[in-house]
Structure 1
Amino acid sequence: MPNSEDTSNTSSKDQQDQKDRRSQLNDIKSNVGNGDPTMPGLCKPGPSRSNPPRLISMTEVLETARDVSNMAIAHEIVINSNFQIQKVESPQNSLERRVKEIVHKAFWDSLQAQLSETPPQFSQAIKLLQEVKESLLSLLLPGHTRLRAQIGEVLDMELIEQQAKHNALDIQRLAGFIIGMMATLCAPVRDEEIKKLKGLTETVSLFREIFRVLDLMKIDMANFTVKALKPHLQQESIQYERSKFQEFLNKQPNALEHTTAWLKAAAEEITNLVSSPRGNGPAVVSPTVVLNQGFMNLLRWDKDTDMYPETVLMDRSRLQELQQRVDQLTLVASILLVTSNTAGAAIGGLPGFVDKVKQVTGALVNGLNDKLEEALVAVSDQIYKEVNRALPEQGYTPLTSEQEAILKGQIRSITQRDNVIRNLIGERIHSYLKGFLSLPAPRNGLHALPGGLAPIQAELKEIGCTLGRLLHHNRMVFGPYYSGILMKLLFRESDAGMDSR
């Protein structure tokens, strides 16, 4: 039986533990309510609402679709460092493309017929010149005052119409001015296109090509504008995306159902990992840790489910692409580890061997998740050939038939759900990637690389940096919504446990 002094000491220690835990809980709640410095974007949420779903009109549906589309475009510009506007072409044999070609041919044939009359008819040509003038003016920057005046002077539509009435219109002279102006305004990448225009003499073909190149120049100008505005867009996009999402929530108040379930699963996972071993109640979990875990779970998401969190829907395709790359890298690293264990560490030093294995594996398993067993059979055969070809070239003994059977068998067994090597590599990859989410901004080389991942380090760093950028932006935009959800998930049980004491 413990003496009174021991009992007193134990009671005092429990009281101190409860006091420390209460202080920790209050600190986290305070941070979430006032803006957690470790979790930017989390601030005190507005009043919670639990209104039932309501019927909405078709007008509201169309407005919501338009708002979501605009929000998605703004989001893509900010998130995608390689964002560019590109010309959309219809499929080669599509009905849309055939109709477009027929209409365009009829238009240019009509222009050719007018110019071939005696005297020539210029009504259609004048309309084209007006369109060219407007296109050139749209490419000018505010400081291009002199060029604006030149375009207005040479492409004076009233003067051109008078010249056409008196059969004195010199289209080739105007075309030469237009090409010269395009050469002044175009990006260097279009210099070759401009050079080709200068070699054309037939009027209809010349104007057809002028309009084609002008379309390309408009896209170039749009991309230049996007690039110039990107720093400003990055500052404004957070509030813009949040406000548009709030408008969506105003029409569908219960539209965070999947987000709540996603965060709840992450919270339960973290809570189970850090539960107090002394039985003093559930451990206090940081909202930052929960959100980080939630993002890591998206890399293992069931692709067939529709229950994707609403707050990451705009990045779903990007995250699924990252998920696919992680799965492939897991296979590559597992195969390389199995090969190294079977054939010996010597193969790691063979020139180009690792890159060759990565290339072979990536090509054979890319997009074959449903037929992975068949793919790995082909991979095992190809890896064996590469190993047996490379070893003798470097003075090593080829694999024996027993080693061949072991190598192929272990590679093919990687498809099994309980495969130790694949699960080990998968956990190490997720552990390494998770380190990128804990940094204020994604940086390379700030945390140790687990064993077995050296051959895929460059690819993992790229994925980690991309995942970190996605999380950072998402957290800044949707922090207030996560705050309301996490306050309920993390602190309701804790409050009840503390109050009961």
Structure 2
Amino acid sequence: MSQNPDKPHSSEEKLSGVEDGQEESSDNPDRSVRKRIRQSAPGSHRDDTPKSSPPRPVSIEELMETAKGVTNMALAHEIVVNGDFQIKPAELPEHSLEKKVRDIVHKAFWDCLEAQLKEDPPTYDHAIKLLGEIKETLLSFLLPGHTRLRSQITEVLDLDLIKQEAENGALDISKLVEFVIGMMGTLCAPARDDEIKKLKDIREIVPLFRAIFSVLDLMKMDMANFAVSSIRPKLMQQSAEYERKKFQEFLEKQPNSLDFVTRWLQEAADDLVKLRCKMLPPHCSDDSATGGASALSSTAVQNQAYLKLLKWDHVNRPFPETVLMDQSRFQEIQLELEQLVVTGTVLLVTFSAAGAALVDVPGFAEKIKSIVKVLLAGMHHPSFNLQESLASVAEKVCAELNSCLSQHGFTPFSAERETVLKGQIQAVANPDNTICKLLDSRIQKFLENYLASSHQKLLPAVPGGLSPIQRELEEIAVKYVRLVNCNKMVFSPYYDAVLGKILTKEESRLVGKAEES
């Protein structure tokens, strides 16, 4: 079944309801966002930071309004930065009191409906109410231009006529339900075709009504998610201004709320100044020093700052205020990159040990990557033992290596060569491992180049040694740069204001360094 052209596209109107529902159903995530903001807000960790002005009293109303703004901002931001964002129905915990109460109420309702339909003659009060709800739901899926479908639904599900037929014993409930199922099949997405077919196999009226409402709930989710995907391009244009406005409201209620951002950007500028100073010749003129300073642009400092987020100490150091909503995303990317460095190093030493024999063997690199991924799952948990896991990786890799060599007519590794390779793989656990450091440096350089050229559609060339993990690296890079660019778009006015002072000071430092030399 193909999707009907009358498929509902009610985007903005439905998204409004979706947003309200999201606020009510995702209480804990929003509370988590507000908690992170409070924890990293000024005053949480800065007894040593001079205050520019004393905090003023904040009313309960202001706090509630700010909290609502954070909630809405978090939802809009999630839709923009997460291409896979979907609204899902809230699921109550299996043994929770709420679920028990809901199940009892639902059972009582359906039992009552069944009892009414078994009366002689049947009573249709509950059934007619359900048909009215179904009618309203079907109509809600339509756009104003869907006049033919609207007329059909209104005509067949005419509640006044249905009541008259029920009173006169002429109501054919099965015929009405058949029409409902047919209309649902017309309006549903292709992914729901199987659910619609299953409805046609249900013969008893009460289970059929229950199943119809279950599928209608799925269709509501489909419609809401279609609305989200439809509105995303428009939302991307408007979200920067919206998020900036909400963030400004937060700043007005929290004194000194850019301290961590200032410190973060200052450190990034310091990193670049150190690099520029190293590059200055021993005896340089004022002009050359000024040229070095001019290269320290706002964009370069911001890129360096965002690269620093991939090496952040999330346990001991507060996150910059502007990127708080995305702290978990940056942390996830950081962990993915750390595991990718280990995977790349294992592949590199394995291919180096095997020589040219297995470089072009289809599927071998993917097999090694899958082994490493499985055995290193959870490597960032406190209880994880990297040394032991790498010993298991070494055993599995050597077994796979010898199997592949034998399969393709090569001589398997001797016990001595196996021992050497296992030792090289286990040495990856050493924080000072030379190969790990080299791959990590090249990955950081790749991300730096991608940030610098993010306006271009093509990814920069992958540095040498990273080809076995190129696909994974590029997937992470795309996700990372999209996240950075979304944040830049929102907070660039704040960064420009902070960097205006920083860059002036750093330019003076560079000129001073040049004069000293």
Aligned to 2:361: 350
- 5+ residue gaps, structure 2, are 1-50
Contact kept in structure 2, 1:442 and 1:465, CA below 8 Å: no
2:18 alignment counterpart = none
Q: CA distance change for structure 1 residues 198 and 398 in 2, over 3 Å: closer, same or farther? A: closer
The count of residues paired between Structure 1 and Structure 2 equals 452
Closer/same/farther in 2, CA of residues 140 and 331 from structure 1, 3 Å limit: same
Match of 1:269 in 2: 271
Of 356, 373, 389, 1:375 maps to 389
Question: Does residue 1:337 correspond to 2:348, yes or no?
Answer: yes
- SS of 1:344's equivalent? helix
Q: CA deviation at 1:421?
A: 0.9
Shift, 1:169, TM fit: 3.0
Aligned counterpart, 1:287: 298
* Distance in 1 (alpha carbons) for counterparts of 2:132 and 2:316: 53
In the alignment, residue 333 of structure 1 is paired with which amino acid? G
Matches of 1:409 and 1:98, distance apart in 2:
56
Q: How far apart are 1:449 and its partner, in Å? A: 2.0
Shift of 1:108: 0.6
* Equivalent of 1:117 in 105, 109, 119: 119
Deviations 1:304-323 (A, max 9, x none): 24511221222222222211
Cα deviation, 1:469-494, whole Å, max 9, x if unaligned, reads 11222111100000111112221353
The answer to whether the Cα contact below 8 Å between 2:386 and 2:429 also exists between their aligned partners in 1 is yes
2:407 alignment partner in structure 1: 393
Percent of pairs with identical residues: 50
Q: Tell me the residue number matched to 2:252.
A: 250
C-alpha distance in 1 between matches for 2:512 and 2:437: 42
Per the alignment, residue 486 of structure 2 pairs with: 473
Q: CA deviation at 1:253?
A: 3.5
Which residue does 1:83 correspond to in 2?
85
In the aligned structure 2, how far is the partner of 1:217 from the partner of 1:497?
62
Q: What is the aligned partner in structure 2 of residue 308 from structure 1?
A: 319
Contact preservation (8 Å) 1:442, 1:464: no
| Contact 2:269–2:506 (8 Å) recurs in 1 | no
The CA deviation string for residues 227-278 of structure 1, in whole angstroms up to 9 with x for no partner, is 2222211211111111111111121142222222221221111111112444
Question: Does structure 2 conserve the Cα–Cα contact (< 8 Å) formed by 1:433 and 1:460?
Answer: no
Deviation of 1:168 after TM superposition, in Å, equals: 3.5
Amino acid at match of 2:484: L
CA distance in 2 between partners of 1:214 and 1:489 (Å): 57
CA distance in 2, matches of 1:54, 1:460: 47
Aligned amino acid, residue 136 of structure 2: E
Which runs of 5 or more residues in structure 1 are unaligned?
A: 1-48
| Preserved contact between residue 442 and residue 469 of structure 1 (Cα < 8 Å) | no
Deviation at 1:328, TM superposition (A): 1.3
Structure 2 matches for 1:144-163, cutoff 5 A? 144-163=146-165
Alignment RMSD (CA, Å): 2.3
Q: For the residues of structure 1 that align with 2:456 and 2:322, how far apart are their CA atoms? A: 21
- CA drift at 1:178: 1.4
Aligned mates of 1:248, 1:57 — CA distance in 2: 13
Q: TM-score, normalised by structure 1?
A: 0.84
So what's the TM-score if we normalise by structure 2?
0.82
Residues 53, 254 of structure 1: 8 Å contact kept: no
SS in 1 for 2:64: helix
- Confirm or deny that 1:178 pairs with 2:189: no
Residue 432 of structure 1, CA deviation: 0.9
Q: Which of 435, 458, 472 pairs up with 1:459? A: 472
Q: C-alpha separation between the residues in 2 aligned to 1:174 and 1:489?
A: 72
Cα distance in 1, alignment partners of residues 506 and 301 from structure 2: 16
Are 1:296 and 2:296 matched, yes or no? no
One-letter amino acid of the counterpart of residue 330, structure 1: V
Q: How does 1:151-230 map to 2 (within 5 A)?
A: 151-230=153-232
1:432 is matched with 446
| Residues 253 and 225 (structure 1), Cα distance of their counterparts in 2 relative to 1, 3 Å cut | same
> Larger Rg: 1 or 2?
1
**CA–CA distance in 2 between the matches of 1:361 and 1:55?**
54
CA contact (8 A) 2:273 2:510 kept: no
**Offset, 1:59:** 2.8
State the distance in 1 between where 2:158 and 2:488 align: 54
CA gap 1:56/1:306 in 2 versus in 1, 3 angstroms: farther
Query: C-alpha distance in 2, partners of 1:442/1:462?
Result: 16
Q: Which residue of 2 aligns with 1:45?
A: none
Query: Distance in 1 between the 2:369 and 2:488 partners?
Result: 34
Q: CA 1:61–1:467 in 2, change beyond 3 Å: closer, same or farther?
A: same
Shift of 1:121: 2.3
Map Cα deviations across residues 262-306 of structure 1 (whole Å, 9 max, x no partner): 212211111111124447578521111111111111112223245
Q: Which amino acid aligns with 2:186?
A: T
- Checking the alignment, whether the CA contact within 8 Å between 2:258 and 2:321 is kept in structure 1 is yes
Contact preservation (8 Å) 2:406, 2:412: yes
Match of 1:233 in 2: 235
Deviations 1:36-75 (A, max 9, x none): xxxxxxxxxxxxx944333423332332222112112111
How much does 1:392 deviate? 2.6
In the TM superposition, residue 335 of structure 1 has moved relative to its aligned partner by 0.9
Tell me what 2:3 maps to: none
Residue 12 of structure 1 aligns with which residue? Answer: none
The 1-side partners of 2:233 and 2:134 are apart by 32
Query: Cα offset for 1:365?
Result: 0.6
The residue aligned with 1:129 is 131
Question: In the alignment, what sits opposite 1:41?
Answer: none
The one-letter code matched in structure 2 to 1:259 is: V
Asked if the contact 2:273–2:506 (Cα under 8 Å) also holds between the matched residues in 1, the reply is no
Residues 111-131 of structure 1 show CA distances to partners (whole Å, capped at 9, x for unaligned) of 111222233222222221221
How far apart, CA to CA, are the structure 2 residues paired with 1:456 and 1:469?
20
- Shift of residue 146, structure 1, vs aligned partner: 2.0
